[in-house]
């Protein structure tokens, strides 16, 4: 079944914006990692190299979130079609690893041909409040 075929009146299209909460959490976690590296007894040059790699990782993750992440998805019972910013559509089923909490949703999609699901963390500031509530309700009951 193609992704366009199952986007019907039963499904709902959810648009996602980049989340400031996610970027802030990435920043805090990476800064804590750098701080913990500088508390070790490694040589200064080793600590600086590791800190540089951690900083590069932070920049890469923020870039991926802002530029190449999920932009929208359609949910129809257990089927999910994800539109990514590169223009591709990922078509799969809702994975059992999906987690729904009041503060965030970890949406996992099982794709054909892949052993592990593709997951995306969605915070409330990534969409409108009513849409986020609707997403949580649909995921709880699907």
What would the pLDDT profile of 65-88 be if each residue is shown by its tens digit?
888 778 888 888 788 888 887 677
Q: What is the largest CA-CA distance in the chain?
A: 61
Beta strands 118-122 and 12-15 are unpaired
Q: What is the pLDDT of residues 28-53, one digit of tens each?
A: 999 999 999 999 999 999 999 999 99
Name the pLDDT band for 10 (thresholds 50, 70, 90): low
Residues in the chain: 142
**With 70 as the cut, is the pLDDT of residue 4 above it?**
no
pTM for the whole structure:
0.79
Of the candidates 88, 90, 94, 122, the residue with the CA atom closest to the CA atom of residue 109: 94
- What is the model's pLDDT at position 91? 87
DSSP-derived secondary structure for 60-121: HHHHHHHHSSEEEEEEETTEEEEEETTS-EEEEEE-TT-EE-SS-EEEEEEETT-SS-EEEE
């Amino acid at each position: 079944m193609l992704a366009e075929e199952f986007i019907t009146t039963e499904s709902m299209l959810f648009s996602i914006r980049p989340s400031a909460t996610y970027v802030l959490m990435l920043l805090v976690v990476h800064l804590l990692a750098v701080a913990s590296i500088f508390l070790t007894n490694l040589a200064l040059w080793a600590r600086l190299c590791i800190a540089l790699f951690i900083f590069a990782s932070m920049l890469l993750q923020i870039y991926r979130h802002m530029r190449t992440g999920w932009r929208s998805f359609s949910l129809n019972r257990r089927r999910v079609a994800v539109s990514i910013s590169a223009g591709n559509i990922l078509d799969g089923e809702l994975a059992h690893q999906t987690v729904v909490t009041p503060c965030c949703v970890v949406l996992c999609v099982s794709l054909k041909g892949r052993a592990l699901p593709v997951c995306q963390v969605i915070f409330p500031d990534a969409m409108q409040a009513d849409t986020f509530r609707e997403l949580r309700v649909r995921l709880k009951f699907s």
